[in-house]
Structure 1
Amino acid sequence: MKFYIITLLLCGCVMGVDIDKNTFSNYREVQMQHLHIEWLLNLNQKIIDGSAEYTFRVTTAELKEVHLDIYQMDIKYAYYPNFGKVLDWHVESDPKQSLIQGDKLIIELGQSFRYGDIFKLRIKYQIGEQARALSFMNIEQTDDKKAPYLFSQCEANNCRSMIPLQDTPSIKFTYSASVLTQDQQINVFMSGLPVENTKFSLMEQYNLNGIANIFQFELKIKIPSYLIAIVAGTVQERKTSDRTSVISEAKNIEIYQKELEHLDKYVKYLEDYIGDYKWGFYKIVILPASFPFGGMENPLLTFANPSIIVGDKSGISVAIHEIAHSWFGNTVTCNNWSNMWINEGFCVFLERKGLLQHYESIDLVYVNSLVGNDEMNALIKEFNSNHDPVIKSYASLHPITENHNADDSFSTIPYERGYQLLLYLEKLVSEDKFQLLLQAWLQQNQYQSVDENDFYNFMIAWIQSNFSMKDFLYIKQQIDSVYIKWIYNTDAPPYKYGFINDASLLATNLAEDWASSRPGEQPQGYEIFDKFQSNQKQLFLSSLLKKNLDPVTMKQLDSTYNLTNNLDAELLFRWYTLSIQTKYATDFTNLKKIRTFVSKIGRMKMINPIYKALDKKTAETWYNENIRFYHPLARQSIENIIKNKGLDVNVELL
């Protein structure tokens, strides 16, 4: 498609090159092309002996050193694999950054490489429980109670605790892996396709040939480091179609398979809107409940929390969201974590296009949007109330992440604020034209890392090519009046969407009726709650969180809808938070149920609000009871909540 680039004269919106300030690597001078990992798993001892071999391409005039990101890692040695020359290396550490972002591993190459040169080097290392990307689970913490369990979570900058590498979304590379385990019960899956006959040097080093299981994988599509993923345990795979399947421990796999039986249909929903699914297979792993997120979009191996399995398929929005990442996030990727909305805002937009086909009602889709909008506005208010300019920036679409753990900036903001910007643009250019624009954006930038400036320039050029000059100038004027403000300002988005419709009004009006009813009395029409979709019930409870309810009304609500014993975790965490806030959860029975909930669910979206609502002493007690259960990222988040008992800057949204 021909774009007429006279936009330099017309633009006025260019924001400059955005580099990744959360990596210590010299990725602008040398870039990973391929990574081969070899791991020997010892899940009982919670240790991994690792080897990483890199294929690098030089992108500067002269290169004498390679700088890589590491976090709490025991480096053994580095060498050239082709001729065995051992290289000098040292770790450059900033005490203020070591436990926040990690350290810089500097490898001295012993020679100079020139622009365009390709070379390989290998690093031997060891990691353990200090690797914050990894959750090592004891046998008693698993569902099957047969063997230990391991899973990873690398987004945002946590892969550097698992592998020394250029831990930045700016760099994409292919990878292969060979994983060895001596426990015959352990099965391994990674975010790549299983292969055979990959060279495995650790076999000779440890003399384990014939007495261990070897799992080998490769991914020929380039990805950023945060999409490397592994799960190891007594896990098995069940197909739901020729190209989709579910993976989990045996205990609940039939339940999970049934709940996710329409995975292929969800993939087709999104293909109808954005184009063919290019990754081949789609697999979703239902992890143990300690997984800190609702879902994680690792290619070929989506991770999900079991809280999305409700029994009525009401949790499928998470599955559709993670599938949507196959296009936005995994194929076109943000080039740094200040541009996370390039992944998540686009993904929410595509997710809700898929939900429109699922619900066959824009009203029900907008109920999801309204729930997200309310959560976003509450966070914008919280972030803006903080005097720290870094925390305040988290209310924008371009948070400050330099010298901070990028995870701290994660919230519902890039999801919902980004989604609303795209919705505004769609309404400006029309649904049909915006669909074509997104398809062209994806095609031109597939397998690349980009930022908001890239999207702006592409969008302006595309609109210029596809509209009359009069319409183009009008549309561009409208975009330029809001684009930078929408991204960089910390207040509410310039254009406010209410998303109010008949489906949402049923929920919000019922909440209002309960709030205004006499204590102990049911409002007229209370029975309609039982006919609500799950997202309407979520909206109902979210609306009640804004009200001043007394314990008597809370008791009547509970008696009427049996909310304390609900099986939908999306409803439970909202109800439990409300119960604490209104002091309804003062009797032993209710407190025990909430205490049990936070001991069995590690999903930060659901436990963080509860910990925030608790008094400090109770929060500390419950956290100490469950510290071994929680994933390292959840521990970090809850510790921040307890420390501050105020603003929670690590909010998970799915």
Structure 2
Amino acid sequence: MLDFTVDFDKQSFIGDVYHYFDVVADTDRVILDSVGIDVYNAQLQTNATTDEWKDLDWLLRSDLNKNLGDALVIDLGRKYTPGEGFKLRVNYATNNGSLAINWLKPSQTAGKKLPYLFTQCESINCRSVAPMQDSPAQKIQYHARVTVDEQFVVKMSANDTGVEHLPETNQKVYTFQNDIPMASYLIAIAVGDLEYRSLGRRVGVVTEPSQIDAVAWELSDLETLLDSVENYLTPYIWGNYTILVLPPSFPFGGMENPLLTFASPTIITGDKSQVYVATHEIAHSWTGNDVTCQNWESFWLNEGFTVFEERKVSGQLHGVDFAKVEALLGNATMFGDMMTYGMNHPFSSLHPTLEGANPDDTFSNVPYDKGYQLLTYLESHIGEEMFQKFLRTYILKYTEDSIVFDDLRESWEDFIEDHYNGTFTNGLLSSIDWDKWIYQPGLPPIIQDYTTVQSNQSSDLADGYIALNGSGSPDNYTAFDDYYSNLKVIFLERLNIRQSDVNIPTLTKIDADYNLTETVDPECKQRWFPVAIRAHYDQAIEPAHEFISSQ
């Protein structure tokens, strides 16, 4: 249980964390992860009925691994054996070394009214919200009691259970409860000038009041997305699904916290062109949040599966080619990340060897798209209908659990043996080179083609503009107006690839035809502005500055 006061003046969480431990092996101590935290006391509950506590000896060690933070070592005073349990309380305050808590000034919010905070705990930063066993191997239920000044609203990745007003101190106490076991990196909190709006029987949005109408309109199809993912997979277990759209300074695309997905305001474009991105965060409700990687070397079990599910649902809603274009772009990003690491670097494998490194150092598109390609490869052997059945079997088998690759492989082999004859089973199981797919660095052993007729046309359109050197427009230039966002991105990626052939007359003509300097699409902006700046296309300089300043 978390029980703290949010102090915006001190930029600190001040309070207690309670841990309930079931003993599984002999121990006389507890070790908790900690970063950016001042610890004041550690206590053991000696009598639950009278709520009596005993002070314990403790030591905060910073000499073990600087990449992982401090170790709070608590001496329990005696040996505990399997079958026993105990409750600890740690009194603490976060400090400016906290990696998870982001404090925003009013000027950094959309409404400019109140300060704001949000947490980002993935991968190992929940240890800077409170001392805890901060590993995805440990699945926990959690309750929270958060005290704030009267003007603030609190939201967490848990069910709201009440609000108590404290008129004597002009404060409010928000309480939360999540009874479904989850990994600590999914604990999340946002505090600010916030408003909730329901969008259906079990979906809603949260954002600042000045943005609520725009957000609600943009995400009006949220229930359809949730229903579609659920129909492809298994029943949704979390109850409600809410997206919180953060202020412009949120530095991520999204974070799949249960019951409170965090999303970048860049998905709010006014034309719903980026709403499909929400499908990824929704799919995490099954793979990542329900079935979770047991360690960060197995991160692809979260992301590869989620990308696969996202693209399956996108293909159902928008057409197979839409999903293939997503894969084409993801594959290109994966290749770029591998080139950055080096094709022989272990971080370009699906099982990066951390050896004490911070998991954030391995973050790239590799677990997303190399994982996706492995699952697509497996699907190719048994077809879409049977692979969907396998996914459902896998999720139900490991629900509310944390797993590693060997668990996946065992489930796959059991499924094949249960559904196919011996000859087919033996041939299939012997044909898959798991070592190359999982442990070897570099490109997937099977390279798949995700190009489509339209993706080739989009790339050719960019080549056509370059060939004309600003003297005119290609014959089919109006096709661009009907492209969805990712097809426009293909066009712009081609300009980036051929940057040395791009000049000011070419960009001037493209901009005259498509007005890309003023586009509302953030994915296009992120690619148009670098091309324009490198080519010294001055008309894009100030809009690019405004775009960057708004992030």
Q: Give the alignment's TM-score, normalised by structure 2.
A: 0.95
Instruction: Determine if contact 2:108/2:248 at 8 Å carries over to the other structure.
Output: no
Aligned-partner SS, 1:80:
strand
Q: Secondary structure at the match of 2:431?
A: helix
Q: Aligned with 1:285: secondary structure?
A: strand
User: Structure 1, residues 338-385: CA drift from partner, whole Å, max 9, x if none?
Assistant: 1111000000111112112220x1011111111111111122222216
Partner of 1:242: 201
CA distance in structure 1 between the aligned counterparts of 2:275 and 2:428, rounded to whole angstroms: 36
Q: Equivalents in 2 of 1:190, 1:417: separation in Å?
A: 32
Q: Which has the higher contact order (CA 8 A, sep 6+)?
A: 1
- 1:80 alignment partner in structure 2: 44
CA contact (8 A) 2:315 2:321 kept: no
Q: Matches of residues 380-391 of structure 1 in structure 2 within 5 Å?
A: 380-384=338-342
Offset at 1:519? Answer: 4.4
| Conserved? CA contact 1:371–1:539, under 8 Å | yes
Q: CA RMSD in A?
A: 1.8
Q: Aligned to 2:336, which of 335, 356, 378?
A: 378
Give unmatched runs, 5+ long, in structure 2: none
1:419 & 1:192 partners in 2: Cα distance?
A: 29
Aligned match of 1:464 in 407, 414, 417?
417
- Deviation per CA, 1:167-192, whole angstroms, max 9, x where unpaired? 110110100000001x2210001000
1:64 aligned to which of 28, 32, 39: 28
Q: Identify the residue that residue 189 of structure 1 maps to in structure 2.
A: 155
Structure 2 residue corresponding to 1:512, chosen from 463, 483, 491:
463
Structure 1 runs of 4+ aligned residues shifted over 4 Å read 207-210
TM-fit CA distance, 1:101: 2.1
Q: Deviations over 1:116-163 (max 9, x none)?
A: 211100000001332110111112222222211110100001101111
Aligned length: 544
Higher strand share: 2
Q: Which residue of 2 aligns with 1:365?
A: 323
1:110, distance to aligned residue in structure 2 (A): 0.8
Q: Distance in 1 between matches of 2:194 and 2:147?
A: 16
The CA distance in 2 between the partners of 1:250 and 1:426, in whole Å, is: 45
Match of 1:308 in 2: 267
CA distance in 2, matches of 1:578, 1:37: 48
Q: Cα offset for 1:239?
A: 0.6
What does residue range 452-601 of structure 1 map to in structure 2 within 5 Å? 452-479=405-432, 481=433, 483-547=434-498, 548-552=500-504, 553-580=506-533, 582-585=534-537, 587=538, 589-601=539-551
Structure 2 residue 18 is matched with structure 1 residue 53: yes
Mapped partners of 1:318, 1:244: distance in 2: 16
- Give, in whole Å, the separation in 1 of the partners of 2:407 and 2:532: 46
Alpha carbons of structure 1 residues 600 and 57: separation in structure 2 relative to 1, 3 Å? same
Q: Counterpart of 1:106 in 2: which secondary structure?
A: strand
Aligned letter for 1:187? V
Q: Structure 2 counterpart of 1:184, which letter?
A: E
CA distance 1:197–1:371, change in 2 (3 Å): closer
Identity %: 36
The aligned counterpart of 2:395 is 442
Q: Is the 8 A contact 1:155 1:227 kept in 2?
A: yes
Equivalent residue of 1:105, what SS? strand
CA distance in 2, matches of 1:273, 1:426: 15
- The question of whether the paired residues in 1 share the 8 Å contact of 2:124 and 2:185 is answered with yes
Deviation of 1:284 after TM superposition, in Å, equals 0.3
The correspondence of residues 21-40 of structure 1 with structure 2, limited to 5 A, is 36-40=1-5
Deviation at 1:209, TM superposition (A): 6.2
1:251-270 equivalences under 5 Å are: 251-270=210-229
Q: Distance in 2 between matches of 1:235 and 1:595?
A: 28
- CA shift, 1:557, in A, is 1.9
The match for 1:408 is 361
**Cα distance in 1, alignment partners of residues 183 and 526 from structure 2:** 33
- Deviation track 1:3-38 (CA, whole Å, cap 9, x = no partner) reads xxxxxxxxxxxxxxxxxxxxxxxxxxxxxxxxx000
What CA deviation, in whole Å up to 9, does each residue of 1:459-492 have, x standing for no partner?
111111110001101111222x2x2211222221
The 10-residue stretch of structure 1 (304-313 or 543-552) with the greater mean CA deviation from structure 2:
543-552
Map of 1:394 onto structure 2? 347
Cα deviation digits, residues 611-648 of structure 1 (max 9, x gap): xxxxxxxxxxxxxxxxxxxxxxxxxxxxxxxxxxxxxx
1:343 aligns with 2:302: yes
Query: Contact between 1:286 and 1:305, CA under 8 Å: does it hold in 2?
Result: yes
Consecutive unaligned residues in structure 1, runs of 5 or more: 1-35, 602-654
Q: Deviations over 1:527-565 (max 9, x none)?
A: 211111111111111222211333232232223221121
Offset from partner CA, 1:30-54 (integer Å, 9 cap, x none): xxxxxx0001011233121021000
In structure 2, what is the Cα distance between the partners aligned to 1:592 and 1:129? 34
Deviation at 1:590, TM superposition (A): 2.9
Q: Read off the aligned partner of 1:294 and give its amino acid letter.
A: G
Letter in 1 for 2:341: F
Deviations 1:61-111 (A, max 9, x none): x2111011100210011001343210111112138x43x321111011111
SS in 2 for 1:376: helix
Distance in 1 (CA, whole Å) between partners of 2:508 and 2:438 is 43
Q: Please say if residues 470 and 508 of structure 2, whose CA atoms lie closer than 8 Å, have aligned partners that are also in contact.
A: no
Residues 191 and 300 of structure 1 are in contact (CA less than 8 Å); yes or no, is this contact kept in structure 2? yes
Bigger shift: 237-246 or 533-542?
533-542
Counterparts of 2:41 and 2:483 in 1: how far apart (Å)? Answer: 60
1:128 corresponds, among 80, 95, 98, to 95
Aligned residue in 2 for 1:28: none
1:514 Cα deviation from its structure 2 partner: 2.5
